[in-house]
Structure 1
């Protein structure tokens, strides 16, 4: 009896040590995997930190009305098991076909039933005017984007180099219905503004660089403002990190911007809650690269170079990527913040699960919170080493989850990334099937080229209804 008890005790002790070893090894493996995750670069290819990807299942803890609820887990390939690839590919195709049928049978009739949606000025969308075509401008720009080198020198894999060769070969995973257009073409501008108006978008956040920069997008602003005005839209500048940008020369560039366009009726303005002043809105990309003390000098009423109460006063919106940027935004005296990246799980700011907390933080500190959502993400035609940050569209399912998360966060303004950032595959602009000798582009089939514009329109209506209901409850 005693021997039996001793054996049992020894066995239990062995089991305990074995379990402990398994736990330690598992923890180390997880740490190694996290360390090896490659950070995604910003639009200007500056690396950011990455958080672990949020699985779809974590979103299903709360009831959701999303029309398609297949989780990402159920259709993800197990790439490490080559022997199962054929079977898994069939499963993926079957799931994809099922989702497409659901979209055709359930969602598309709902989208087509909405005839007219009025522009909602609390819905913003990022717009890029940097495309040039050889036919219209005499030179290609951006459609011929370079393959970008991997910043992680430890990776010895060989990736494509050089530039793309439009019009058949472009720096994007999707191909635009309009082909390789020029952003300078007034007909293209007019069509874009009409499409945005019909989708219910109210404010177009235009990527902006000053006339002195190499990537000069200022020259197109007059045409954009005039076209936006024709369609009752508003335009706000999205200040890019152009070469040599700093808070001091930014002040001079803002002076130019407001002197040129400050009186235009299409320039987007908002009422500042603290004093009721109606001011232009300015988004500043990569604002965190400068210390909060530098921004404080411009944005605090007590700063030595303060813009407050001057002709350069505005609603300044900074970029929040990581959790520590909350403190940076607050100390800098920004009026609010946005998250830009439509990549769930890529960063603290872009992760849907954090949006309610970010909205709470904003409310507690008198700030605007503007979550940024997107239909998906894929940039492997310019960053071939960045496949792990791809977010597949799932026939609109990804976009639906993103919209629902933003609407439920309590934010009063929502931004969409993007109308036409083709390089990163975040566009809702119409795309069509296309291929060349070496590559077949992704598309929106079988839902059709206008699908994401229509899906946006549907969600803008849901968001508008919620804002109207909240306003009625307060009155």
Structure 2
């Protein structure tokens, strides 16, 4: 009755129905939102936070973390919508720098701990049968001609207006830890202490006239303070006259009587004789070399006192009687030095395969040849070679260090051949890149990485110890003779 009273027209009925439908829809929405709003937000949050946690948390921490702590991250929301974190490049860079600084600190701390636990390998005993080439002073620079100016036209010849001055270039592939030093008492003492700690007993100095007599006297006088001895390497060539060699030997005779000069006992001659190395000995002419032959009728004790003309047989021996070891390169050079009456021969170049004498696999033949004629073979080992242009006719003779493996193979080969002497090239021949001295990492230069600055000093001490141990075992088995310098004795 009320509907009929108030809704007498169809228009009013439609309005009422529309209002009723809207009211029902609003009520339904309120009921649905009230019952499921909290659970829906929780599900949404759980899905989002658990996904982020699985994506950014390490797996090991995920396994240890209890399920109740799954909702750790709190994401930023605006009006119920998750807002991603803003990308701040400055914060990311600072975080990366902090991480790197932390890693460097940890590495430095670990290195200090290792250095404290592991001291440098040193040798208490000194092997006088191990000799090392020592350079003083070191020629740090070499002269290089500047390039000629290019002509403007291909058919023209460029003529420089002035003579270009040579340019000095740093002549080393490595950079020393002590800088580009000059010889001084403090520096020599530090070098000699490093050499002695490696177990090396003898220094080989290059003797070239005119040289610095004061520096040579200083080195020979300081060497015994560090339990070291000194010997010389003469440099001769085929075009040198007999008078030149005479003068060199007379100059060396003034150093022989110094306490620091290296000498060995000769059973056949009954005297202490110095050991002298002769570089480029294979270039000596027959007339010059024959004067090293010893006249059998001359008594040994009269040799240092007599001086005869350079044309007589044995005149060089009478100027200075010594144990002469000549430098060879080819296979035939060993026979040349035998005919020139040398007492032994050595391989000077520490570059495996460059020449016959420096090739490791040929040392067994040279050792057998030397024993057959009662001579001495002295191999030369080195950590590497970094001089490309010293012997251009042989191509590239550079030898990489291979993290110390090259040095180890050379030592092992020399030790297994049971040689009497072993030469090391070198302590500080930086222009050749064959040094074992400490090096400093520097841009544009090679270094000893991976490893410490004293890496090759430690390796040298290790191999000298093996050499001494092998000599002692061979002496116990009577496998050596006096030509291999047991107890500093030569037949």
Alignment partners' CA distance in 2, 1:148 and 1:112: 47
Spell out the pairing of 1:96-111 with structure 2 (5 A cutoff): none
Cross-structure match for 1:189: 188
Cross-structure match for 2:178: 178
Spell out the pairing of 1:4-403 with structure 2 (5 A cutoff): 114-131=121-138, 142-147=139-144, 162-165=166-169, 170-183=170-183, 185-210=184-209, 213=210, 216-241=211-236, 245-259=240-254, 261-301=255-295, 304-307=312-315, 310=318, 312-380=320-388, 388-403=396-411
Computing the radius of gyration from Cα coordinates, the structure with the larger value is: 2
Q: TM-score, length-normalised on structure 2?
A: 0.63
Alignment partners' CA distance in 2, 1:283 and 1:115: 28
Q: CA deviation at 1:248?
A: 3.0
Cross-structure match for 2:475: 471
Q: CA deviation at 1:122?
A: 0.3
Alignment partners' CA distance in 1, 2:471 and 2:419: 10
Consecutive unaligned residues in structure 2, runs of 5 or more: 1-110, 147-164, 297-310, 480-491
Asked whether the equivalents of residues 291 and 316 of structure 2 are also in contact (C-alpha less than 8 Å), the reply is no
Alignment partners' CA distance in 1, 2:401 and 2:145: 24
Deviations along 1:289-347, whole A, 9 cap, x unmatched?
11234211233326824157636100111011101101111001001111010000000
Alignment partners' CA distance in 2, 1:114 and 1:413: 22
Alignment partners' CA distance in 2, 1:374 and 1:110: 29
- Relative distance call for 1:307 and 1:130 in structure 2 (3 A) is farther
Asked whether the equivalents of residues 356 and 410 of structure 1 are also in contact (C-alpha less than 8 Å), the reply is no
Cross-structure match for 1:441: 445
Please give the secondary structure, in 1, of the residue aligned with 2:173. coil
Alignment partners' CA distance in 2, 1:240 and 1:148: 26
Deviations along 1:241-298, whole A, 9 cap, x unmatched?
4897444321222112212x12111100012353343201111111111123421123
Alignment partners' CA distance in 2, 1:319 and 1:419: 19
Q: TM-score, length-normalised on structure 1?
A: 0.65
Q: CA deviation at 1:148?
A: 8.6
Asked whether the equivalents of residues 291 and 317 of structure 2 are also in contact (C-alpha less than 8 Å), the reply is no
Deviation larger for 448-457 or 294-303:
294-303
Alignment partners' CA distance in 2, 1:241 and 1:148: 27
Deviations along 1:340-362, whole A, 9 cap, x unmatched?
10000000000000001100000
Consecutive unaligned residues in structure 1, runs of 5 or more: 1-103, 132-141, 150-160
Alignment partners' CA distance in 1, 2:295 and 2:198: 39
Q: CA deviation at 1:461?
A: 0.4
- Relative distance call for 1:197 and 1:115 in structure 2 (3 A) is closer
Alignment partners' CA distance in 2, 1:329 and 1:383: 22
Deviation larger for 268-277 or 121-130:
268-277
Asked whether the equivalents of residues 370 and 412 of structure 1 are also in contact (C-alpha less than 8 Å), the reply is yes
Asked whether the equivalents of residues 293 and 332 of structure 1 are also in contact (C-alpha less than 8 Å), the reply is no
Asked whether the equivalents of residues 148 and 382 of structure 1 are also in contact (C-alpha less than 8 Å), the reply is no
- Relative distance call for 1:307 and 1:188 in structure 2 (3 A) is farther
Asked whether the equivalents of residues 123 and 197 of structure 2 are also in contact (C-alpha less than 8 Å), the reply is yes
- Relative distance call for 1:218 and 1:340 in structure 2 (3 A) is farther
Deviations along 1:354-382, whole A, 9 cap, x unmatched?
00110000000010110001100011488
Alignment partners' CA distance in 1, 2:186 and 2:238: 31
Alignment partners' CA distance in 1, 2:474 and 2:116: 28
| Larger RCO (CA under 8 A, 6+ residues apart) | 1
